[in-house]
C-alpha cells in the first residue's frame, strides 16, 4: 500500500473536482489500490448523497405571497427625492418655470422699489430753463423769469 | 452545473426581466434563503428583498453569466446584513475560522456512522445537525454538495477566498458528521 495517503480534505477536494489534473490523477490511482482511502472516499460520497437526498425531500415551493409582495413593492414604490427632482428639471417643465421665476423677480423688484422718479422728469427742463436763467442776468431780481414760474404769474 | 446556468435572453423590459427571473429562479432562491435562515418567515423576507434588488439593479446583470450566482450573492449579503442588525437580539453565531477542527489536517476518526445512515432514520438528525451549523458553513455545504458549485463560484457568492471556502467546507463536513452522530445516538 502506498504510504503517502491523501488527507481526507484532499479526498473531499478530489470528489468536488477541485484538484490539479496531476494531483487528481495521482489520487485516482491511489484510491484504486488503497482500501483504507477508498473507504474514506465512500464515506464522503455517502455524506454528499445523503445531503442531496435530504435536500430533494425537503425542497420547498415558493410561497405565492412572496411573488405578490415583490410585485406590489416594485409597482407602488414612491419615487425618491432625487427622482422627484429629476422629473422637475425636465426641459419641458424647467423652461416655463425659469421664465416664471425671471418674471417674478423682475416685477417683484419693480413693485418693491416703486416707479423710477428720475426717469419721469424731462431733462430738457433743467437744461433749457436753467441755461436761460443763468445766461442773462443771473443776479437780477427782475428778468428773466424762468418759464416754469412765469405761467403762475401770468395766471394772475 | 447550476452555477453556470445563465439567464438566457434577458427581457428588455425591466418588469418582464423580473417576472422571468422569479419564474425561473424564485423557487431556488427561496430554498437557498431557507437553508441560510432555517425558518420560513425570514426566507420569505430575504427572497422578497432579493428580487426587489434584482428589479432595481437589473441593468447591472451581465447576460451570459449565472443569474443564480448573482441572486445567491444578493441573498447572502442581505442575510449577513440582517445578522449584523440583529446581533445581540438573536442567538445565531457567525462561525469563526479559528474554531477547533476535529478533522483538520488528519483522517476522519470514524467513518462508520455515515455508512449506517438510512434515509428514513437520517432525516431528523441531519435536519437538526444542519440547523446547528453556522449559517455560513451551512451555506457552503449547500452550495458545494447540493448545488454543485465550484469552490471559485462559492467564493464569488460568499465573498471570500477559495482557500476560505475549502477550509470552511472541510470543517463543516466534519462538524456535520459529529452532529449527526450525536443526534442519532440521542434523539430528542
Long-range contacts of B141-147 (CB under 8 A, 24+ apart): B141/A51, B141/B169, B141/B172, B141/B173, B141/B176, B142/A55, B142/B32, B142/B35, B143/B3, B143/B72, B144/A16, B144/B169, B145/A47, B145/A48, B145/A51, B145/A52, B146/A51, B146/A52, B146/A55, B147/B2, B147/B3, B147/B32, B147/B68
Contacts of A48 in chain B (CB under 8 A): 145
Mutation site for B-interface testing, chosen from A1, A36, A50 by largest number of B Cβ within 10 Å: A50
Say which residue the cell 423590459 belongs to.
B13
What average pLDDT does the structure give for chain B? 80
Put simply, the answer to whether A12 touches B169 (Cβ < 8 Å) is yes
For residue B100, what pLDDT is reported?
39
State how far the Cα of B141 lies from the Cα of B44, in Å rounded to an integer.
21
Put simply, the answer to whether B55 touches A53 (Cβ < 8 Å) is no
Measure B62 CA to nearest chain A CA, in Å: 21
What average pLDDT does the structure give for chain A? 78
State how far the Cα of A144 lies from the Cα of A104, in Å rounded to an integer.
50
A97 versus A135: the higher-pLDDT residue is: A97
For residue B183, what pLDDT is reported?
87
**DSSP reduced 3-state for B106:** coil
For residue range B92-116, what is the model confidence (pLDDT) as tens digits? 444 444 443 343 344 444 444 444 4
Percent of chain B with pLDDT over 70: 74
Tell me the average pLDDT across B109-136: 69
Contacts of A15 in chain B (CB under 8 A): none
Report yes or no: B101 and B170 within 8 Å, Cβ to Cβ.
yes
Put simply, the answer to whether B44 touches A47 (Cβ < 8 Å) is no
What residue in A sits closest to B176 (Cα-Cα)?
Answer: A47
Assigned C-alpha cell, A122: 424731462
In the predicted model, is pLDDT for residue B9 greater than 90?
no
Question: Lowest-confidence range among A64-68, A130-134, B53-57, B84-88?
Answer: A130-134
State how far the Cα of A129 lies from the Cα of A127, in Å rounded to an integer.
6
Report yes or no: B143 and A51 within 8 Å, Cβ to Cβ.
no
Contacts of B170 in chain A (CB under 8 A): 8-9, 12
Task: Determine which helix (DSSP H) or strand (DSSP E) holds B67, and give its type and residue range.
Answer: helix B67-86
Measure A89 CA to nearest chain B CA, in Å: 22
Amino acid at each position: 500500500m502506498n504510504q503517502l495517503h491523501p488527507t481526507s480534505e484532499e479526498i473531499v477536494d478530489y470528489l468536488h473536482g477541485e484538484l490539479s489534473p496531476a494531483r487528481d490523477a495521482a489520487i485516482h490511482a491511489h484510491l484504486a489500490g488503497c482500501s483504507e482511502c477508498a473507504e474514506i472516499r465512500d464515506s464522503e460520497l455517502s455524506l454528499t448523497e445523503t445531503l442531496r437526498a435530504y435536500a430533494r425531500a425537503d425542497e420547498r415551493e415558493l410561497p405565492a405571497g412572496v411573488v405578490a409582495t415583490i410585485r406590489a413593492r416594485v409597482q407602488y414604490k414612491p419615487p425618491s427625492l432625487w427622482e422627484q427632482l429629476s422629473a422637475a428639471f425636465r426641459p419641458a417643465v424647467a423652461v416655463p418655470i425659469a421664465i416664471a421665476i425671471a418674471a417674478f423677480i423682475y416685477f417683484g423688484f419693480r413693485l418693491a422699489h416703486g416707479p423710477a422718479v428720475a426717469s419721469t422728469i424731462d431733462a430738457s427742463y433743467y437744461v433749457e430753463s436753467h441755461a436761460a436763467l443763468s445766461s442773462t442776468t443771473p443776479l437780477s431780481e427782475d428778468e428773466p423769469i424762468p418759464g416754469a414760474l412765469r405761467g403762475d404769474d401770468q395766471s394772475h | 452545473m447550476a452555477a453556470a446556468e445563465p439567464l438566457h435572453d434577458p427581457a428588455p423590459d425591466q418588469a418582464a426581466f423580473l417576472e422571468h427571473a422569479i419564474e425561473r429562479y424564485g423557487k431556488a432562491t427561496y430554498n437557498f434563503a431557507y437553508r441560510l435562515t432555517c425558518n420560513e418567515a425570514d426566507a420569505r423576507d430575504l427572497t422578497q428583498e432579493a428580487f426587489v434588488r434584482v428589479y432595481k439593479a437589473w441593468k447591472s446583470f451581465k447576460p451570459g453569466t449565472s443569474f443564480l450566482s448573482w441572486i445567491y450573492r444578493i441573498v447572502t449579503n442581505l442575510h449577513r446584513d440582517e445578522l449584523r442588525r440583529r446581533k445581540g437580539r438573536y442567538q445565531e453565531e457567525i462561525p469563526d475560522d479559528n474554531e477547533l477542527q476535529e478533522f483538520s489536517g488528519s483522517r476522519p476518526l470514524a467513518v462508520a456512522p455515515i455508512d449506517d445512515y438510512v434515509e428514513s432514520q437520517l432525516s431528523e438528525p441531519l435536519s437538526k445537525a444542519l440547523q446547528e451549523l453556522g449559517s455560513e458553513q451551512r451555506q457552503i455545504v449547500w452550495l458545494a454538495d447540493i448545488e454543485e458549485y465550484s469552490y471559485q463560484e462559492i467564493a464569488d457568492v460568499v465573498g471570500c477566498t477559495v482557500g476560505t471556502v475549502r477550509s470552511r467546507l472541510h470543517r463543516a463536513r466534519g462538524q456535520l458528521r459529529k452532529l449527526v452522530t450525536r443526534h442519532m445516538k440521542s434523539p430528542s
